[in-house]
């Protein structure tokens, strides 16, 4: 009988602890992008502007620290803030695609941070015209 009471008590304590609000869970950074997390360039001229800026805001409770931003290939170069982004402040991740590569492209950029919604995947896609399309 003592074992049953002990097991029931332990189960109740465990459930109560797991249901309680953990203050550390509420004090997290959160990255919220303005607009879409996918950008379609459409058709770009060969050696044209393949840059896009993804604007985001730290909508969490503590400073947002971006630890790494990784692209799916070397033809896509991301630039991101190295310093913490304060609560309710905006910043951006700039992505540049090498438009000296003709044809259709679809690339991803993965953002790693201390945010509750990390990692976040950004996407760019489009079509780069052939080199001969720019001859006059």
CATH topology of domain 27-134: Immunoglobulin-like (2.60.40)
Give, for 23, the enclosing helix (H) or strand (E): helix 23-26
pLDDT at 114: 96
Mean pLDDT of 1-8: 54
pLDDT of residue 66: 97
Could you read off the pLDDT of 19-56 as tens digits, one per residue? 444 455 568 999 999 989 999 999 999 999 999 999 99
How far apart are the C-alpha atoms of 16 and 4, rounded to whole Å? 18
- pLDDT tens, residue by residue, 53-72: 999 999 999 999 999 999 99
For the chain, domain boundaries: 27-134
Is it the case that residue 16 has pLDDT exceeding 50? Answer: no
- Which tens digits make up the pLDDT trace of 74-111? 999 999 999 999 999 999 999 999 999 999 999 999 99
44 Cβ contact list (under 8 Å, min separation 6): 50, 99, 126, 127, 128, 129
For residue 18, the model assigns a pLDDT of 45
């Amino acid at each position: 009988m003592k074992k049953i009471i002990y097991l029931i008590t332990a189960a109740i304590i465990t459930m109560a602890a797991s249901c309680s609000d953990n203050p550390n869970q509420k004090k997290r950074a959160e990255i919220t992008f303005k607009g879409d997390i996918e950008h379609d360039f459409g058709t770009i001229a060969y050696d044209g502007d393949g840059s896009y800026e993804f604007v985001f805001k730290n909508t969490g409770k503590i400073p947002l620290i971006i630890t790494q931003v990784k692209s799916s290939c070397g033809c896509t170069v991301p630039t991101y803030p190295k310093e913490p982004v304060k609560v309710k402040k905006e910043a951006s991740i700039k992505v540049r695609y090498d438009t000296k590569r003709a044809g259709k492209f679809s690339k991803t950029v993965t953002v790693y941070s201390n945010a509750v919604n990390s990692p976040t995947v950004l996407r760019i896609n489009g079509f780069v015209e052939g080199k001969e399309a720019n001859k006059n």
